[in-house]
Amino acid sequence: MLDPANAPGRSEVAWPAGIAPPVPPALEARNLHKSFGLVAAVRGLSLMVAPGEFVTLLGPSGSGKTTTLRMIAGFTAPTSGVVLLDGRDVSTVPPHRRNIGMVFQNYALFPHMTASRNVGFPLEMRRVAPAQIRRRVAEVFSLVGLEGLEDRHPVQLSGGEQQRVALARALVFEPSLLLMDEPLGALDRKLREGLQSEIKRLLKRLGITVLYVTHDQEEALVMSDRIAVIRDGGIVQVGTGNDLYEHPRSLFVAGFIGESNIFHGVLDRVGGDLVLSSTGWSMRVPGPAQESSAFEPGSQAALVVRPENVGFGPAVGGGSPGMIGRVELRARASAVLRVGAVWRYEFELPDGQPVRASLPAGIEQGSFHAGDDVMIYWMPEDCVLLPADERGGAD
């Protein structure tokens, strides 16, 4: 795992005898910017990918993912910033010399060529001997499970098969880096899920470095070693799926990864405690936020609680903030739904704010009906206080 903060450097300093020099990142994007006229598509994007790592760029449509990949591949010149491959600045290296494989959402296969000619094409371009091309093409066909379909044309292949051909074509010249731009976006859900684990297994087995792009958080969570969340052309947080889920540093990330209950309110100090309040409710903020200088009384903030951490029961007594350390609020049940493997309970706070709780199916927690008064609660350690988002949270 590579944290940009303490990633292996490219220092010129000699290393002490007996200690291996640090490996440069397989890929480093350093402060990339790209403007198209007045549109700033990418704004100061920096990212490192370690050799053999699978990193996903996750962000909403229009956040600059494709533009970033195109700059790394060399198809688009950055307005400023540099791309380094294995520690080497490739600004002046044309795309076909960067040894990067690419897979796009729309397959981009040559329609007039058979599958095997499509796959061998990068080797033809590199003037590899025909016998060697045949050998290598046969190898990658078996690698991606396409044996027997060599002589078909793209129109004679399903979407999933076409994407395997595209992957085989990207792997045939043994690239040192593979870029994949929403490669499964055009496939139906079942097929997509099957291919996600298959592609991940294959690429891990090959030990290839991957920068993958998707707007689908579940796909990112399933496939990646680390996820870089991109918003408005910049990376807002990088981490493992677990890091991002447990420790989002912004409402944007909290809202983008997994489901969240987000309580917007104003901070206030009540008897030495920092409390978040809105119309009709008030709650003590969790311990770490109590100490943090980032949160000032009078400022706007939001508390994030995951649905699986919200407990509930019949309404008894009064819900005061901080009671036995637990955050408790009065609410009204609005719906109980079976959603696949979980029961989803929907509640409403006095100010109309919806709250979701979820329980694995099989664990029953009383019976509730729409309109019932309930008490909802969670433990302070199960929530995160975050600054208000001037743009209003997830897109």
Ligand X SMILES: Nc1ncnc2c1ncn2[C@@H]1O[C@H](COP(=O)(O)OP(=O)(O)O)[C@@H](O)[C@H]1O
Residue nearer to Mg ion on the CB measure, 24 or 64: 64
Residue, CB closest to Mg ion: 66
Please, which residue, 103 or 327, has the CB nearer to Mg ion? 103
Residue 62 contact among ligand X, Mg ion, none, beta carbon within 5 to 8 Å by kind? ligand X
Amino acid at 83: V
Report, in Å, the least distance between residue 309 CB and ligand X.
Answer: 31
Q: What is the nearest approach in angstroms of ligand X to the Cβ of residue 50?
A: 23
Query: Which one, 214 or 353, has the nearer CB to Mg ion?
Result: 214
Binding region for ligand X (CB under 6 A):
36, 39, 41, 59, 61-67
3-state helix, strand, coil in the chain (%, to 5): 25, 35, 40
Distances (CA, A) of 38 to 35, 42, 69: 7, 12, 20
Decide whether 32 or 157 has the Cβ nearer to ligand X.
32
Matching residue, tokens 């520690």: 87
| Planar angle of CA 378, 242, 207, nearest 5 degrees | 170
Provide φ and ψ at 227, rounded to 5°: -120, 135
Q: Which of 59, 107, 79 is nearest to 257 (CA)?
A: 59
Stretch that binds Mg ion, among 59-67, 120-128, 162-170, 187-195 (CB under 5 A): 59-67
Least distance (Å) between residue 182 CB and ligand X: 8
Q: Nearer Cβ to ligand X, position 62 or 160?
A: 62
DSSP characters for 10-47?
A: ---SPPPTTSPPPPPPSEEEEEEEEEETTEEEEEEEEE
> What character string, x for contact with Mg ion (CB under 5 A) and - otherwise, covers 66-85?
x-------------------
64: partner contacted, choices Mg ion, ligand X, none (Cβ within 5-8 A by kind): ligand X
Smallest distance, Å, CB 64 to ligand X? Answer: 4
**Which three-class secondary structure state does DSSP give residue 254?**
helix
Q: Do 327 and 383 form a contact (C-beta atoms < 8 A)?
A: yes
Does residue 162 bind Mg ion (CB under 5 A)? no
**In this chain, which stretch among 20-28, 57-65, 277-285, 379-387 interacts with Mg ion, using CB under 5 A?**
57-65
Pair 233, 63: CB distance under 8 Å? yes
Nearer to ligand X, 108 or 379 (CB): 108
Residues that bind Mg ion in the complex, under the rule CB under 5 A: 65-66
